[in-house]
Amino acid sequence: MNALTTHNLSAGYQANKVLQNISLALPQSQATAIIGPNGAGKSTLLKGLMNLLPQVSGEVSFFGEPLKKQYHNIAYVPQREEVDWDFPICVLDVVLMGRHGQLKFWQRPSKHDHQLALQSLDKVGMQAFAQRQISQLSGGQQQRVFIARALAQQAKLYLMDEPFAGVDIATEKAIVALFKQLKSNQQTLVCVHHDLNTLKDYFDWVIMINGGLVAYGPIQEVLTLDNLNKTYDGRLPILQNLGLVNSEGSN
């Protein structure tokens, strides 16, 4: 069964939607990157999947069921900039938020929930920071806390909005190691990604969008110069390192 299927998904903030008619199907246990130029609708795609925007139309299903029945299987990691990092709360309490989908409105996190939260912090190398105020964290540490919060959900599918944006090398390495671990546990990843140079190393599949869907599939099959040109309107980022220019250029 596919982890994620969409049919004619359109989404945006106003009636004139940024993202138009996305139909795709992603298998389980793969790491997929969403790439495209600025304003192409990469974050909008993730938010559209989670029904977080005022205007969403089309069909989305997770593991063969609609979102309403699958909340517990999906963990969303927003961009760091979307919250107030001066909010008075410690790291552990942020990670514990990941458990609240399973808790009724009057319920407090249990011992088991605390254990899961600490384990999740450990997986991103942040256990020593559990009692630290979030206002004291660096950008990379903030990102790791957000990922730990998603891990605490114990989901099957992780949707991450630019997890590598503005993080230090230590954090990038920690996240990449985590990706490998998640995949080996049969978990599925979908990330908005900017760096075409690391695309092949970190991901297996790619979704190329530019308002609409340009192509999607395994990286070896769809990451062609032709598709990249369509995605970036000919304004290609530096491609030397991708090993595509020579092979495609000779055609």
Which residues bind to another protein, rule: CB under 8 A?
47, 50-52, 54, 68, 71-72, 74-76, 78, 82-84, 87-90, 93-94, 97-98, 100-101, 103, 105-106, 108-109, 133, 135, 149, 153
Task: Describe the strand order of the beta sheet including 188-192 as a list of residue ranges.
Answer: 74-77, 157-161, 188-192, 31-35, 205-210, 212-218
Q: How far apart are CA 117 and CA 92, in angstroms?
A: 7
In the complex, minimum distance from the CB of residue 135 to another protein, in angstroms, rounded to a whole number: 7
CB 209 within 8 A of CB 22: yes
Please give the helix or strand (H or E) that residue 118 lies within, else none.
Answer: helix 111-123
Q: Is 44 within 8 Å of 52 (Cβ atoms)?
A: no
Q: In angstroms, rounded to a whole number, what is the distance separating the alpha carbons of residues 4 and 138?
A: 33
Between 102 and 198, name the residue whose CB sits nearer to another protein: 102
Least distance between another protein and beta carbon 178 (Å): 19
Terminal-to-terminal C-alpha distance of the chain: 38
| Cβ 148 to another protein shortest distance, Å | 13
Cβ 213 to another protein, closest distance in Å? 23
Q: Please state the closest distance from residue 80 (CB atom) to another protein, in A.
A: 11
Give 118 or 155: the residue with its C-beta nearer to another protein.
155
Q: Which is nearer to another protein, 33 or 74 (CB)?
A: 74
Contact 35, 205 (CB under 8 A): no
Q: Which is nearer to another protein, 23 or 136 (CB)?
A: 136
Question: Shortest gap between Cβ of 182 and another protein (angstroms)?
Answer: 18
Run of H or E residues at 46: helix 42-49
Q: Where are the alpha helices (DSSP H) in 203-244?
A: 219-222, 225-231
83 vs 128, beta carbon nearer another protein:
83
Smaller CB separation from another protein, 35 or 77: 77
